[in-house]
C-alpha cells in the first residue's frame, strides 16, 4: 500500500484482493476501464473473474452509488448484462469521441469508446453545465450559427426584447407554440417554444448541458499507458455522478488518470493497479501532479 496524500490511496495489488478490505456501502462511485480481453499476448489484458468483480463492486457501493465503465465489443455488452443480473439500474450511455482513429489499418476506423453509467439502486445523475466554448470547441458550424443568430437580434424587435428580458430579469420568453407536425396532439396543445435567441444567450452565459457524446483528444505525447484516458474526460464523467468529498474507486487504475481527475475535483480516491511497472509510473505521475497543485 502507498498512501501518497491524504485523499489518494493507491495499491500495487489485484483489485479482487484489495476490494475485500473496503467496507460495504462505503464507495460513492466506481469509475474504471477494465481489460477488454480481446488483445493477444498483451499484459494489459489479464483475464479476471467478471461476475466476482461486479459482485464485489455491488457490495462496496452505496445504494445511490454509481459504476461507470469503459468498454467495447462483446465484453462491454457482457458486463452490462452482468450488472443488470445483479440488480443494477442502467442510467445512461456516453460515447467518448476520440476525434481521430486509433486503428487506421482496420476495415472500419475506431474513433470512439462506449461508457456505461449504472447505479446500484437509486442514484440520480447530476445536471451539469459545461462551458459553452468547451462544448462547442469542435463544432465550428454551431458557433457560426449562434453568432449569426446574435447578429440577427438587432434586426428583430421581438427577439431583441426577449434577449433584454433574459439579461435583465433572467427569464426566457415562451411565446411560440410547438408546431412539429409529428408531435402528438398533447405536445402540440401543451407546450410553447422558448425564444431561440434567449436560449443561445443563456448557453453562452451559463454553459450547456453535458452531452451523451463527449469529444476529448487523447494525451498522446504525455501518456504512460496504452489505454490512458484524458483527465478532462474523466472529470466530466465524475461531475455527472459525484460531488466534492465523495469517495471514488478505480480498480484498474493503469495510468491513474482517475486519481488526477479526483484531485482536481476534490474527490477522495482509492485505486488498484496489478502491474508493477504501470503502478510505479502512475504513482510518480500522482506525486508530480500533487507537487504542481501545491505550487499553485
Write out pLDDT tens, residues 88-147.
Answer: 999 999 999 998 876 667 788 888 999 999 999 999 999 999 988 898 887 888 878 877
Residue 174's CB: how many other CB atoms inside 10 A? 13
- CB environment 215-235: b (16+ within 10 A), e (fewer): bbebbeeeebbebbbbbbbbb
**Among 209, 225, 254, where does a domain finish?**
209
**Largest Cα–Cα distance in the chain?**
67
**In total, how many domains does the chain have?**
2
pTM of the predicted structure, to 2 decimals: 0.83
| 205-260 pLDDT, tens digit each | 888 899 999 999 887 767 888 889 999 999 999 999 999 999 999 999 999 999 99
For residues 112 and 22, membership in a common domain is answered with yes
80 shares its domain with 222:
yes
Residues 13 and 120 in one domain: yes
Please enumerate in sequence order all residues whose Cβ is within 8 A of that of 26, keeping only pairs 6 or more positions apart, or say none: 60, 62, 247
Q: Tell me what pLDDT residue 50 has.
A: 96
What percentage of the chain exceeds 70 in pLDDT? 76
Q: Which domain holds residue 204?
A: 132-209
173 has pLDDT over 70: no
| Same domain membership, residue 112 and residue 143 | no
219 shares its domain with 204:
no
**Is there a contact between 287 and 33 (Cβ–Cβ < 8 Å)?**
no
Q: Based on the domain organization, do 124 and 147 belong to the same domain?
A: no
Q: Which of 179, 209, 239 is the last residue of a domain?
A: 209
Query: How far apart (Å, rounded) are the C-alpha atoms in residues 194 and 162?
Result: 10
**Does the pLDDT of residue 73 top 80, yes or no?**
yes
Amino acid at each position: 500500500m502507498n498512501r501518497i496524500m491524504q485523499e489518494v490511496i493507491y495499491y500495487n495489488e489485484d483489485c479482487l484482493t484489495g476490494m475485500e478490505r473496503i467496507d460495504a456501502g462505503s464507495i460513492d462511485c466506481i469509475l474504471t476501464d477494465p481489460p477488454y480481453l480481446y488483445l493477444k499476448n498483451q499484459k494489459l489484458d489479464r483475464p479476471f473473474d467478471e461476475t466476482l468483480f461486479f459482485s464485489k463492486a455491488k457490495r462496496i457501493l452505496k445504494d445511490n452509488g454509481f459504476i461507470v465503465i469503459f468498454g467495447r465489443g462483446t465484453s462491454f455488452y457482457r458486463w452490462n448484462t452482468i450488472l443488470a443480473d445483479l440488480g443494477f439500474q442502467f442510467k445512461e450511455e456516453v460515447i467518448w469521441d476520440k476525434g481521430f482513429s486509433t486503428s487506421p489499418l482496420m476495415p472500419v476506423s475506431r474513433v470512439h469508446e462506449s461508457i456505461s453509467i449504472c447505479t446500484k439502486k437509486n442514484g440520480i445523475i447530476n445536471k451539469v453545465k459545461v462551458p459553452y466554448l468547451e462544448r462547442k470547441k469542435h463544432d465550428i458550424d454551431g458557433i457560426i450559427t449562434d453568432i449569426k443568430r446574435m447578429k440577427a437580434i438587432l434586426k428583430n424587435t421581438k427577439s431583441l426584447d426577449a434577449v433584454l428580458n433574459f439579461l435583465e430579469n433572467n427569464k426566457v420568453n415562451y411565446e411560440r407554440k410547438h408546431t412539429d407536425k409529428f408531435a402528438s396532439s398533447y405536445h402540440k396543445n401543451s407546450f410553447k417554444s422558448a425564444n431561440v435567441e434567449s436560449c443561445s444567450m443563456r448557453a453562452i452565459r451559463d454553459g450547456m448541458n453535458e452531452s451523451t457524446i463527449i469529444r476529448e483528444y487523447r494525451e498522446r505525447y504525455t501518456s504512460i499507458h496504452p489505454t490512458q484516458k484524458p483527465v478532462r474526460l474523466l472529470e466530466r464523467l465524475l461531475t455527472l455522478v459525484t460531488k466534492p468529498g465523495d469517495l471514488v474507486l478505480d480498480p484498474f487504475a493503469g495510468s491513474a488518470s482517475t486519481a488526477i481527475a479526483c484531485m482536481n475535483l476534490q474527490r477522495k480516491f482509492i485505486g488498484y493497479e496489478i502491474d508493477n511497472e504501470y503502478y510505479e509510473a502512475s504513482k510518480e505521475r500522482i506525486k508530480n501532479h500533487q507537487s504542481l497543485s501545491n505550487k499553485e
